[in-house]
Amino acid sequence: MLWLNGEDLRNKALSDRKKRLARLIRSADCPRILYAQHIEQYGKRFFEEICSRDLEGIVAKRRLSIYKDDGQSWLKIKNRAYSQAEGRHELLTRKK
């Protein structure tokens, strides 16, 4: 979450922005919106589970990082065996 009620949150740590997002989603009481927990440990095990469920992959970010639109502050880790990868376009790409 980058903005909330006119407040610029881009200079807040990812963990703070995610806390605010979680509170906002809970208060909305909308079953169609799911909050994705931040996994802080066991990254390799988590990625193996993603692959076993035939999901596309994960995005890794540093918990205390601020938002940067530079393509360098996050890492996209793709499941190379993802069955639906063919013909799909990238929504998130890193700048070279």
> pTM, whole model, 2 decimals?
0.70
Under the banding of pLDDT at 50, 70 and 90, the label for residue 89 is low
- The radius of gyration of the chain's CA atoms, rounded to the nearest angstrom, is 15
Can you tell me the distance from the alpha carbon of 58 to that of 47, in angstroms, rounded to the nearest whole number? 7
**Which residues touch 61 (CB under 8 Å, ≥6 apart)?**
14, 73, 74, 75
Q: Count the domains in the chain.
A: 1
In a domain, 64, yes or no: yes
In a domain, 85, yes or no: no
In a domain, 96, yes or no: no
In a domain, 47, yes or no: yes
Task: Tell me the pLDDT tens digit for each residue of 28-68.
Answer: 988 898 888 888 888 899 999 999 999 999 988 888 899 98
What residues make up the domain containing 46?
3-78
In a domain, 68, yes or no: yes
Q: Give pLDDT, residue 93.
A: 58
Q: Count the Cβ atoms, other than its own, within 10 Å of residue 90.
A: 8
In a domain, 89, yes or no: no
